[in-house]
Structure 1
């Protein structure tokens, strides 16, 4: 059952997160270095998010619903302590965000 939740979570959260990051870095005119960091960020964070989703079905469900409904910014799921992610979050942070 946990593998099923991880799979659904990947479709509903991780894939849109990857697409959102790619679009925002493109729109921001990100440098090659930032684009590479964003790819490293997703590569390191996606497995952690999927593992958490498989182990915590409640978190996976509420997070997937929040992201799908637009209540949760998928970027908020990234670990800002990860150096690759901190640069990315700083780039795509919107005015007024509390990131």
Structure 2
């Protein structure tokens, strides 16, 4: 019961804002349209994994939510770089952050 509640909060306060933030960053960096278009696909596959982890590990959920909210953790760090739908996005964001 509590795990489901935490998972719902995590999805609302981390996964959804991360999607919006990633889209905004990619558009600001003038990323190729193909990369921006993959954000939804990436988070449809990675989002449920993050929510499952949050419901099973409350400490991780709380610290991750705080880290993302305060900017200590980049949204790109939450993406699964091994996921074919996320790899181009993560690579683009990480290389752009390294250049900045």
TM-score normalized with structure 2 length: 0.85
Kindly indicate whether the alpha-carbon contact (under 8 Å) linking 2:81 and 2:91 is maintained by their aligned counterparts in 1.
no
Q: How many residues align?
A: 97
Distance between the aligned counterparts of 2:85 and 2:53, measured in 1? Answer: 20
Structure 1 residue runs without a partner (length 5+): none
Kindly indicate whether the alpha-carbon contact (under 8 Å) linking 1:2 and 1:55 is maintained by their aligned counterparts in 2.
yes
Q: Once superposed, what is the RMSD of the aligned Cα atoms?
A: 1.7
Runs of 4+ in 1 over 6 A off after TM superposition: none
3-state SS of 1:44 partner: helix
Cα distance, 1:96 vs. partner?
5.8
Does 1 or 2 have the higher relative contact order (CA < 8 Å, sep 6+)?
Answer: 1
Other-structure match for 2:98: 95
Kindly indicate whether the alpha-carbon contact (under 8 Å) linking 1:28 and 1:91 is maintained by their aligned counterparts in 2.
no
Distance between the aligned counterparts of 2:4 and 2:24, measured in 1? Answer: 29
3-state SS of 2:19 partner: helix
Structure 2 residue runs without a partner (length 5+): none
Query: Map of 1:33-52 to 2, 5 A cutoff?
Result: 33-52=34-53
